[in-house]
Structure 1
Amino acid sequence: MRRSGRFGAILSLAAVAVPGAVRAESDPRLTGLWTLVSYEVEVRTDGSKAPVMGEKPTGYAYFTPENRLFFVLTGEGRKPAGTEAQRAALLGTLVSYSGTFRTEGDSWTAKVDVAWDPKWVGTEQTRMFTLEGERLRVLTPWRVMPNWADKGETRSIVTFVRGKD
């Protein structure tokens, strides 16, 4: 079985095992595995944009038919940590969360129940999206992101291509 196939199968099983999971129909345009292509952040104060996760970040988004989503996004060039400070620094190159979601038009709102940053647990995260063929472009609202809070209000522009699960 290919790596992405195992990933999708594990996430599908996890969705079934989560108590209280939403059992409504998912937006079929989103359902399935998406592979991260780019992660760019725009700074509200000056309009500057930067690939904060590097030129070649890695990661996946997975949307189940039962309306559960999973995001694991990592920065380019991550290395194993040998010290406590290096382990802490790795959090700046990781975005990971899961929750149930609902769609409305070209946006979804996730009710986060697991996250790399505990402040996100119990929150609702809304994302706007556009689909062009096999490409999913995601835009966050303006907010202070935990990973680059020093930049003030930012929004993320995250691009995926449909994966093979």
Structure 2
Amino acid sequence: MRTRTTMILAGLATAGLLTGPARAETPPALKGLWKLVSYEVEVRADGRKQPVMGDHPTGFAYFTPDERVFFLLTGEGRKPAETDAERAALMKTLVSYTGKVTLKGDQWTAKLDAAWDPKWVGTEQTRSFTIEGDRLRVLTPWRVMPNWADQGETRSIVTFERTKD
């Protein structure tokens, strides 16, 4: 009887019925620190691509082993702000957020718990991605983005390179 009970419990644990659902870990290919290489916005209406953060933006993405992502992306040539208007203008060259990530195929969804724009807190942000060698290419879905709302529907094409640090 004891052997049968042990086998049943082992089977339930293996199925996740005793311990809860298994959590998918960040895959090794995505895990770690990525340096921003380029940030383009593509306009859906005409296919035009713009380096909205300049030719040499700065920033990083970090995918932790325990399913969290951190993004800090800033535009080229940012200067310290002295006035409220200058501080407000800096927001147009900043994207920053963090949240827990779930992965499914070539997409991740981050449930944000902190962001540069408070409207994003509590939202789920889904991104498609490809990894080729040491390059990570990230695509946002087509939509009206807060920083470039005047362009209509756009999507961001963000390229990172794995850091060697």
Q: Same fold (TM over 0.5)?
A: yes
Q: Does 1:120 align with 2:108?
A: no
Asked if structure 1 preserves the Cα contact closer than 8 Å seen for 2:24 and 2:103, the reply is no
TM-score, scaled relative to structure 2: 0.84
Counterpart CA distance in 2 for 1:157 and 1:87 is 26
Runs of 4+ in 1 over 3 A off after TM superposition: none
User: Relative contact order (alpha carbons < 8 A, sep ≥ 6): 1 or 2 greater?
Assistant: 1
Unpaired stretches in structure 1, ≥5 consecutive residues: 1-22
- Offset of residue 46 of structure 1: 1.1
- Alignment RMSD (CA, Å): 0.9
SS, match of residue 149 in structure 1: helix
Give the aligned partner of residue 111 of structure 1.
Answer: 111
Counterpart CA distance in 1 for 2:121 and 2:149 is 18
Give the aligned partner of residue 79 of structure 1.
Answer: 79
Asked if structure 1 preserves the Cα contact closer than 8 Å seen for 2:39 and 2:52, the reply is yes
SS, match of residue 88 in structure 2: helix
Unpaired stretches in structure 2, ≥5 consecutive residues: 1-22
Correspondence list, 1:51-62, <5 A:
51-62=51-62
- Offset of residue 131 of structure 1: 0.6
- Offset of residue 26 of structure 1: 1.5
Counterpart CA distance in 2 for 1:62 and 1:79 is 25
- Offset of residue 144 of structure 1: 1.1
The one-letter amino acid of 2:92's match is G
The one-letter amino acid of 2:59's match is G
Q: How many residues are aligned here?
A: 143
Correspondence list, 1:35-50, <5 A:
35-50=35-50
Q: Percent identity?
A: 76
Q: Which has the larger Rg?
A: 2
Give the aligned partner of residue 13 of structure 1.
Answer: none
